[in-house]
């Protein structure tokens, strides 16, 4: 019984005190790397997060249980941009 209680304590909470889903900076960085494949240190990130309402999309993905599948480690993109679009 003590191990079950210990596991419950070690598991991160998905909701805060008021029932909102928690979105951390690490979640935002993982989304930016995986979904639009944008550098999180880019000057465009703040605009992208606001314009496309990324926080709401992350909350919806966490509520649906698909967030981990979306941000799973992606393969390195090819060296040339035209490979991304299957040109050449």
pLDDT digits (tens, 9 = 90+) for 9-68: 555 566 666 778 889 999 999 999 888 888 888 899 999 999 999 999 999 999 898 998
To the nearest 10°, report the CA torsion of 27, 30, 31, 37: 160
Please check whether residue 41 lies inside any domain of the structure: yes
Please check whether residue 8 lies inside any domain of the structure: no
Please check whether residue 84 lies inside any domain of the structure: no
More confident residue, 80 or 69: 69
> What residue numbers bound the domain in which 47 lies?
14-73
**Quick check: 83 and 76 in contact, CB under 8 A?**
no
- Residue 50: what pLDDT? 94
CB neighbours of residue 52 within 10 Å? 12
Number of structural domains found in the chain: 1
pTM: 0.66
């Amino acid at each position: 019984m003590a191990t079950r209680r210990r596991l419950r304590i070690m598991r991160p909470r998905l909701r805060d005190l008021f029932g909102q889903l928690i979105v951390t900076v690490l979640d935002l960085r993982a989304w930016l790397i995986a979904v639009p494949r944008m550098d999180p240190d880019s000057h465009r990130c703040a605009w992208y997060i606001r314009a496309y309402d990324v926080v709401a999309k992350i909350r919806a993905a966490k509520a649906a249980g698909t967030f981990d599948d979306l941000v799973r480690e992606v393969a390195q993109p090819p060296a040339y941009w035209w490979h991304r679009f299957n040109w050449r």
